[in-house]
Amino acid sequence: MKIFFYALRPFDELPYCEPNRQKYGIDYAWTAETPNPGNLQLAEGCDAVSTNPCEVRPEYLEAFARMGVKYLPCRSIGYDHLPLDAAKRLGLRVSHSHYPPEGVANYAVMLMLMATRKMNQIMLRAAVQDYSLPGKMGRDLSGCTVGVVGTGKIGSTVIRHLSAFGCKLLAYDLYPNDAVRAWADYVPLAELYARSDVITLHLNATPENHHLIDAAAIAQMKDGVLLVNTARGTLIDPQALVEGLESGKIGGAGLDVVEDEAGLCYYDRRGEALANRELNLLRSFPNVIVSPHTAFYTDVNVASMVESAFEATAAFAAGRPCPCEVPL
C-alpha cells in the first residue's frame, strides 16, 4: 500500500509521515505542489491520493483512477474541494480527517474576546502610538448572549467552554445534542438571530446552508451584533456582510474564513493585488479581524490530519469501517 501526498508541507506535515508509515505499514511519496496536469503522473503506482483543500478537477480523478488509485483520504475536515460526483462515478472512496475540537473551538472563543474588546482597533492604534481611550471601550463577553449555530463536536465544545464565562448561551442545530442542553437553550434560528449579541458559526459547507447569513438573516439580528466564523466562508454572503458593517447593523466580525479563499490561504501573496474584492474591503474595517484560515493550526491537529490519511487508507484496504468515510 502506498499514499501519494499532494500539497504536503515539509515544515510541519512531513515529520509526521515516517512515524505513521511505521505504525500502519503504508509507504508514501509526496510533493509540495498542488495537483496539476503536469504532476498527476507522480501518483503512478499509489493506492491513495491525499490532498489538502486545493483545486482538484474531475479530470484529475479520472487520471488517478486509470493509474489504479482507489482512495482519496483528505488531510482536512472539509472535503468540498473534491468533485464528489466524479469520485462516485469512478468508484473512488473518500474520507476526511479528524482532530480534537478544542483547537478550533478555543480559536473561536479568542475571536469573540477580541471582537467584544475591540482588540483590532486597539492594536492598530497602538501601532501608531495612539494610546488614547475614545472609541476603544468594549463589552464583557460574560454579559453577552452568545448564539452558537451548529452544535457538532466543535460547536458543542465552544458552548462548554463559554459556559465558564457565564454567558447566556443559545444554540441551533437541525439535530440537537442532548449533552448541550446542560449549558445552552436550543431555539429556532430566527430567535437566535434576534436575541444574540454574538453569533458564532460551526457548520459544514452544504448547498442548503450556502449564504446562510445573508441580508435577510442580518436584518433579523440585533443592532451591533458581532459575527464570528471559523467554519466555512460560504456560510456568509460577503456582500451582505460588507453592507451590514457599513450601515453599522453589524458591530464587528472575527473571521478565520472568507468566501473564495482558494489560492489565497497558505500562500505568500505579498505585493500582489488580490482578486477578492470582499476580502479587501473586510480588511479595511477596523472592527473586523480577518485571519487566514488558521483556527485548525496546532501541533496536535496537524499530527491528527496526517495520521487520518494513513488510518483511513489502512481501514479501506482491510475492509474495516472507516468512521471518517464520506458517503457518496
Per-residue buried b or exposed e for 226-261, using 16+ beta carbons within 10 Å of the residue's own CB: bbbbbbbbbbbbbebbbebbeeebbbbbbbbbbbeb
- What is the Cα–Cα distance from 110 to 83, expressed in whole angstroms? 34
232 is catalytic: yes
278 is catalytic: no
Q: Quick one: pLDDT at residue 266?
A: 84
- What is the Cα–Cα distance from 259 to 265, expressed in whole angstroms? 11
Q: Quick one: pLDDT at residue 77?
A: 87
β strands within 150-263, DSSP E:
168-172, 185-186, 198-201, 225-229, 250-255
* pLDDT tens-digit readout, 261-320: 877 888 889 999 998 999 999 999 999 999 999 999 999 999 999 999 999 999 999 999
pTM over 0.85: yes
Choose the catalytic residue: 75, 96, 160, 293.
Answer: 293
Residue 189 exposed, middle or buried by CB count within 10 Å (0-12, 13-18, 19+) = middle
Q: Quick one: pLDDT at residue 263?
A: 79
Residues of the chain with pLDDT under 50: none
Q: Quick one: pLDDT at residue 94?
A: 98
Contact 147, 198 (CB under 8 A): yes
* pLDDT tens-digit readout, 279-291: 999 999 999 999 9
Choose the catalytic residue: 13, 259, 261, 311.
Answer: 261
202 is catalytic: no
Q: Quick one: pLDDT at residue 78?
A: 84
DSSP state of 33: S
Choose the catalytic residue: 232, 278, 307, 311.
Answer: 232
Q: Quick one: pLDDT at residue 53?
A: 87
3-state secondary structure of 128: coil
